[in-house]
Structure 1
């Protein structure tokens, strides 16, 4: 591992541990987790699903807002390594999704058609409470590197502790209220992405990047900016033309 990667990894753990701040945004936090997982773990994509208050599982973040990847992670809430992982609380691996059609008859063909051949899902858990899972995807078939799996689990562990520690309430309240609110805000972000994509004639990933960069540049929470945009309180043209959102 290079010194640069060591430094990046150390910075990532510091960022994931630093959740006790007034403007903590769990969606931006999970987005950072998936993006850093791709950068550090030699995988091609990463995503997180979280528990909702009805006992189901929903996608909460991905390393890209590419429509194909978003659909893959949405499909995982019905079948696949991520769902098996949250049900068992254990690591779930697939070295070749094309050979796992019997295991996951709906998910495996869907994932391979999106360009992914190997998968690894690690639980986001604290003792007996499983709040979700982090899935790592690779375009090439073959085993996911053991060091990458170990680091992925470590990242998931720190992220889980950070989310649970961020609220000074009981664990059950966090699971049923905080995480449910997170999933609701994710729906608002999807609506805002659609507004930007249509107004700017751009793809969904570019729309998400503009939305996130605008929120960071204006020192506002991602979910608050998305809500204002979806409600019409923030003009999409203003955001599209903004130097902050374009990184100029």
Structure 2
């Protein structure tokens, strides 16, 4: 992407992100947008986002594709990987060579799984505001080269915008709602995964393509993604008509 074109697109993305910071914003769709924009603007192939629940336990909330989502779930199941460590420490982990035994000594199982997915380099950035860490964002590359300083700054900026959005919601809402926000997001995540699977099976397509079809249907109709997925799962929407 040429420099001026990239700068213009960065500005558009920041405006797009700010526009979502309304009282009733869709957290999951917002974080998927974050993943998509990182892949678009940065020299990376995939992105995953983990958030901590009220008990401090990480959960995979969004990813740029299904392979990355499963890789992030693997990291949580084995309690290892750069994103897990980044959340614990609140500090960035950059330019991690997944092919180096010395570099990945602390998370060999995750590194092996990542390599099988096709990734050779990874980076983890904290989603934090001052001392409060709400999660972490993982960036993956197929190439073995450091992430450019400008890309690191932009990625951290986008992660910071997402953090502010999440914390803003928690400030606006009552404490009881704050505790339930992520629980609701996790429930929504289950509905979305079910709907993706149903649509993928019916259309005989990939889960990733099914997800893009759902998002493409919801957005122009100003329909919350989770509400659309609930309709699909409950059989309230004729998918053959809605998604010809």
Q: TM-score, normalised by structure 2?
A: 0.91
Alignment of 1:169 with 2:173, yes or no, is: yes
Q: Following TM superposition, where does structure 1 have runs of at least 4 consecutive aligned residues deviating by more than 6 angstroms? A: none
Secondary structure at 1:136's aligned position in 2?
strand
Q: Name the counterpart of 1:119.
A: 122
In 1, Cα distance between equivalents of 2:69 and 2:117: 10
Q: Name the counterpart of 1:144.
A: 147
How many Å apart are 1:170 and its aligned residue? 5.7
In 2, Cα distance between equivalents of 1:54 and 1:197: 34
Q: Name the counterpart of 2:110.
A: 107
Would you say how many aligned residue pairs link Structure 1 and Structure 2?
Answer: 238
Q: TM-score, normalised by structure 1?
A: 0.90
For structure 1, which runs of at least 5 residues remain unmatched after alignment?
Answer: 242-248
Does the Cα contact within 8 Å between 2:39 and 2:47 map onto a contact in 1?
yes
Secondary structure at 1:76's aligned position in 2?
helix
Secondary structure at 2:39's aligned position in 1?
helix
Q: 1:43-87: CA deviations, max 9, x gaps?
A: 1111101112333111111112x3x22211212322100000000
Alignment of 1:204 with 2:203, yes or no, is: no
Does the Cα contact within 8 Å between 1:95 and 1:141 map onto a contact in 2?
no
In 2, Cα distance between equivalents of 1:149 and 1:101: 21
In 2, Cα distance between equivalents of 1:38 and 1:233: 34
Correspondence for 2:186 among 183, 188, 191: 183
Alignment of 1:157 with 2:160, yes or no, is: yes
In 1, Cα distance between equivalents of 2:155 and 2:24: 26
Q: Name the counterpart of 2:73.
A: 74
In 2, Cα distance between equivalents of 1:57 and 1:107: 16
How many Å apart are 1:219 and its aligned residue? 1.5
1:33/1:171 CA distance change after superposition, 3 Å: farther
Q: Name the counterpart of 1:47.
A: 48
For structure 2, which runs of at least 5 residues remain unmatched after alignment?
Answer: none
Deviates more, 1:82-91 or 1:6-15: 6-15
Larger relative contact order (CA 8 Å, sep ≥ 6) = 1
In 1, Cα distance between equivalents of 2:24 and 2:223: 8
Q: Name the counterpart of 1:246.
A: none
